[in-house]
């Protein structure tokens, strides 16, 4: 392919990919499969690798991130990023409307009502249709330059659509994390023993501040744009500007979803507010209120702003769902790592549509901070968090005889004195081997779906087995006999058979899941996969030094030290040895059909094929031990060429003396 041909092809692919990205993320109406999208993206990646002269910072290939920013540079906002003043009642909002009308006596005012997204505010600048910069709000007059991180958010266009956008403009919006993604992220953080995020807002703003943009790319972030700065605007009102921004490729609130409406009166505004006060619980993301804006830009200008907020807009904040109830008792849960979590047992109370009986109290410091006592009247809130929270005490109702709160000193399950490590918020029960919930927690984790997925066995069975003294660790599972199970409560012969069969079947579960099942602190699913792939068997992992562990992609000190500590314990070594003897998978099984036919070969794929897809060839190269790279160089061993291999690439290959084969020769090499 000549550079000219490449330039045109690259441009075409970029436009196509931008378009499909728009259909998928903005319109929610994809027209091609993920597979086809990936193929096009791969093709583009390859061409960009071959023709680096056509690099573009806004190419769709840049979405995956990769740039590392140690300190985000601070930059001044061209226009300050203000905040909104808040109202909390119909009266306050009526006052605002009256004040506004009074300031513009002769005007027939049009308002726009929209949702108040709960995330992190950003301001993005575009020049000639290209994203050039994205800043956080910061202190309002200057913010952090988080451009690289923002570019990884798929619903934010890197290049605009059509031709009707202003040459240079700024647009503002809110980056947020949808509830489903938030729940998944926290679930995996808990599995990896990382502190979960308190709410979606924190996880959104925390994600934007991560130094490695390739990690930001993996966070489920989204963004609604809600304000087009007026300079160079040909549109004279906010409502039309927002909808126009939708045409330029931004994700904006849509009237068809009732996320946006025009309103003329307090009654119309309140229709919108009342609707969303109820309906917000069904939204896939969080809002904390409604924003009401004067529609005409000219009138916004006339109203102007105070030092902090514009006079042309106001927020109406929903009341956090809050109830008062009695804190009957604080109980404690012991997790599989021995961490103690205090739990508030409440007099049942109805809150945001559910009956609440329990709420997390997090840790001892939280209880002290709230000055809680058993018997207190407390306020419970269900805000962003899925789990309700105790947020304070009604001291007026505190009776004089309530005793000062005493945090637990011994483990509620095994009476071992609790410890609290320097700098940690939580108390731990140090009785790793003998504390029943820790023992059964580890076994439950081991048998769970993402680990050994043992059929016929649930958490209750595990508890029964631990209580009966039949199981003290996961290795004991593999010694269980049907006769031992039968005397247990409610254990039928059939269930006992199923359990033993389920355990036996788990010996085929691949190494990476066994490794995850071991429950090594900080080794979640992803880390287990990485370690398994890198070390290939448990012996190598067990012998690995700290330095070796640190060479594995994304493994840092904390994880590496935890792995070393786990395998240092003789008890753990013995458990692994027993499970090995029981036939569990402690080494990576090479995939079916795999061979070493292409071992040591660096192979470039070029053109299109009849028998295989490009992706398929790539997978076959890897399956047979070869390495697939994008461009021809001195290191290339072989080119698999199909229809349409460019003449310049062919010449380069010939100059370098690289062998070119067709797809049939390739198939022969790997014996298919
Ligand atoms: S308009 C000058 N519209 O609320 C104010 N803000 O307290 C321009 N927010 O920092 C903002 N949804 O992060 C506007 N539909 C919306 C909004 C919204 C959420 C946030 C924004 C702002 C904060 C103000």
* Spans of all domains in the chain: 3-64, 75-317, 322-397, 436-508, 511-581, 602-669
Tell me the pLDDT band of 191, cut-offs 50, 70 and 90: confident
Q: Ligand 1 centre and the CA of 310: distance in Å?
A: 11
Give DSSP secondary structure letters for 434-483. T-HHHHHHHHHHHHSTTTT--TT--HHHHHHHHHTTS-SSGGGGGG--HH
| CA gap 551, 534 in Å, rounded | 10
Which token pair is 186? Answer: 């926290």
Q: 602 in the Ramachandran plot: left (φ > 0), alpha (ψ -120 to 50) or beta?
A: beta
Q: 94 in the Ramachandran plot: left (φ > 0), alpha (ψ -120 to 50) or beta?
A: alpha
Ligand 1: which of 86, 113, 117, 135 to mutate, most ligand atoms within 8 Å of CB?
117
List residues bridging with 136 in a β-sheet.
Answer: 122
Q: Ligand 1 centre and the CA of 201: distance in Å?
A: 14
pLDDT for residue 386: 64
Fold category of 75-317 in CATH: D-amino Acid Aminotransferase; Chain A, domain 1 (3.30.470)
pLDDT for residue 416: 97
Closest CA to 92 of 263, 310, 266: 266
Q: Ligand 1 centre and the CA of 83: distance in Å?
A: 6
Which token pair is 424? Answer: 């940690």
Which residues have C-beta within 8 Å of that of residue 557, sequence separation ≥ 6?
A: 550
pLDDT for residue 628: 83
144-186 confidence digits (pLDDT tens) = 999 999 999 999 999 999 989 999 999 999 999 999 999 899 8
Give DSSP secondary structure letters for 21-83. HHHHHTSS---S-HHHHHHHHHHHHHHHHH-GGG--TTSGGGGG---B-SSPPEEE-SS----
Q: Which CATH class is domain 3-64?
A: mainly alpha
Range 322-332 burial, b when 16+ CB lie within 10 A, else e: bbebbbeebeb
| CA gap 294, 296 in Å, rounded | 6
- Assess whether 40 carries a catalytic annotation: no
pLDDT for residue 553: 76
Q: Ligand 1 centre and the CA of 225: distance in Å?
A: 10
* CATH for the stretch 436-508: 1.10.150.20
Question: For 336, how many CA atoms within 13 A lie in the half-sphere containing its CB?
Answer: 22
Residues in the chain, overall count:
672
* Residues 581, 586, 588, 592, CA torsion sign: positive
Q: Ligand 1 centre and the CA of 116: distance in Å?
A: 6
511-581 matches 436-508 in CATH topology: yes
What residues does ligand 1 touch, defined as CB less than 6 Å away?
82-84, 114-117, 121, 137, 174, 226-227, 291, 310, 313, 315
- Averaged pLDDT of the chain: 91
Ligand 1: which of 291, 301, 312, 384 to mutate, most ligand atoms within 8 Å of CB?
291
* CATH for the stretch 511-581: 1.10.150.20
* CATH for the stretch 602-669: 3.40.50.10190
Question: Residue 384: pLDDT above 60?
Answer: no
278-322 confidence digits (pLDDT tens) = 898 889 999 999 999 999 999 999 999 988 899 999 999 988 778
Tell me the pLDDT band of 197, cut-offs 50, 70 and 90: confident
* CATH for the stretch 322-397: 2.40.50.140
Selected catalytic residue, list 46, 116, 382, 649: 116
Question: Residue 105: pLDDT above 60?
Answer: yes
The reported pTM is 0.69
Opening angle at CA 548, ends 543 and 551, nearest 5: 150
- What is the position in ligand 1's atom list of the atom closest to the CA of 121? 13
417-472 confidence digits (pLDDT tens) = 999 977 778 899 999 888 999 999 999 999 998 899 998 888 889 999 998 999 99
Tell me the pLDDT band of 231, cut-offs 50, 70 and 90: confident
Tell me the pLDDT band of 385, cut-offs 50, 70 and 90: low
Are 367 and 390 within 8 A, CB to CB? no
111-117 β-sheet, strand order: 86-87, 313-317, 287-294, 111-117, 260-263
Which residues have C-beta within 8 Å of that of residue 343, sequence separation ≥ 6?
A: 330, 331, 332, 333, 358, 359, 360, 361
CA-nearest residue, atom 16 of ligand 1: 116
- What is the position in ligand 1's atom list of the atom closest to the CA of 114? 15
Q: Phi and psi at residue 664, in whole multiples of 5°?
A: -70, -40
């Amino acid at each position: 392919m000549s550079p000219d041909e490449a330039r045109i092809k690259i441009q075409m692919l970029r436009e196509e990919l931008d378009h499909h990205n728009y259909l998928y993320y903005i319109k929610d109406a994809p027209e091609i499969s993920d597979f086809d999208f990936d193929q096009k993206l791969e093709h583009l990646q390859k061409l960009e690798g071959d023709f680096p002269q056509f690099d573009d910072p806004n190419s769709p290939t840049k979405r995956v991130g990769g740039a590392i920013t140690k300190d985000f540079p601070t930059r001044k906002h061209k226009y300050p990023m203000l905040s909104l003043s808040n109202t909390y009642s119909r009266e306050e909002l009526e006052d605002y409307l009256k004040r506004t009308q009074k300031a513009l006596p002769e005007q027939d005012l049009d308002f726009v009502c929209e949702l108040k997204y709960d995330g992190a505010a950003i301001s993005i600048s575009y020049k000639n249709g290209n994203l050039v910069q994205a800043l956080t709000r910061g202190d309002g007059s200057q913010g952090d330059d988080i451009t690289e991180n923002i570019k990884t958010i798929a619903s934010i266009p890197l290049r605009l659509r059509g031709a009707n956008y202003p040459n240079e403009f700024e647009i503002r919006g809110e980056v947020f994390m949808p509830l489903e993604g938030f729940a998944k992220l926290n679930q995996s953080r808990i599995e990896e023993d990382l502190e979960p995020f308190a709410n979606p807002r924190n996880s959104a703003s925390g994600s934007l501040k991560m130094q490695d943009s390739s990690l930001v790319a993996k966070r489920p972030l989204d963004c609604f744009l809600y304000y087009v700065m007026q300079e160079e605007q040909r549109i004279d009102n906010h409502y039309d500007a927002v909808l126009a921004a939708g045409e330029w490729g931004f994700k904006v609130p849509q009237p068809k979803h009732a996320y946006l409406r025009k309103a003329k009166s307090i009654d119309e505004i309140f229709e919108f507010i009342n609707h969303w006060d109820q309906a917000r619980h069904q939204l896939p993301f969080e809002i904390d209120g409604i924003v009401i804006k004067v529609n005409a830009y000219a009138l916004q200008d006339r109203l102007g702003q105070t030092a902090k907020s514009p006079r042309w807009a106001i927020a109406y904040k929903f009341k956090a769902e809050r109830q008062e109830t009695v804190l009957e008792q604080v109980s404690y849960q012991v997790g599989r790592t021995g961490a103690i979590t205090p739990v508030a047992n409440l007099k049942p109370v109805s809150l945001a549509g559910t009956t609440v009986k329990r709420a997390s109290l997090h840790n001892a410091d939280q209880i002290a901070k709230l000055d809680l006592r058993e018997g207190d009247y407390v306020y419970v809130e269900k805000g962003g968090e899925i789990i309700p929270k105790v947020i304070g005490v009604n001291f007026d109702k505190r009776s004089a005889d309530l005793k000062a709160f005493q945090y637990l000193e011994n483990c509620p399950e095994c009476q071992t004195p609790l410890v609290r490590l320097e700098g940690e918020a939580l108390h731990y029960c140090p009785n790793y081997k003998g504390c029943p919930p820790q023992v059964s927690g580890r076994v439950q984790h081991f048998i769970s779906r993402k680990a050994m997925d043992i059929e016929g066995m649930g958490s209750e069975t595990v508890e029964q087995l631990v209580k009966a003294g039949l199981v003290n660790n996961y290795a004991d599972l593999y010694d269980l006999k049907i006769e031992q199970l039968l005397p247990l409560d409610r254990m039928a012969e059939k269930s006992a058979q199923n359990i033993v069969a389920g355990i036996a079947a788990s010996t085929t579960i691949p190494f990476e899941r066994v490794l995850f099942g071991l429950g090594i602190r900080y080794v979640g699913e992803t880390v287990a996969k990485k370690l398994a792939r890198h070390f290939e068997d448990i012996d190598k992992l067990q012998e690995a030094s700290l330095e070796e562990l640190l060479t594995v992609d994304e493994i840092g000190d904390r994880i590496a030290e935890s792995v070393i500590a786990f395998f240092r314990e003789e008890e753990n070594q013995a458990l692994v040895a027993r499970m090995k003897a029981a036939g569990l998978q402690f080494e990576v099984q090479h995939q079916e059909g795999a061979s070493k036919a292409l071992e040591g070969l660096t192979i470039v794929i070029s053109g299109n094929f009849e028998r295989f897809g490009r992706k398929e060839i790539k997978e076959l190269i890897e399956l047979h031990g070869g390495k697939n790279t994008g461009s021809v160089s001195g290191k290339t061993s072989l080119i698999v060429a199909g229809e349409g291999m460019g003449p310049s690439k062919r010449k380069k290959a010939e100059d370098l003396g690289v062998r070119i084969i067709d797809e049939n020769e390739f198939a022969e090499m790997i014996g298919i």
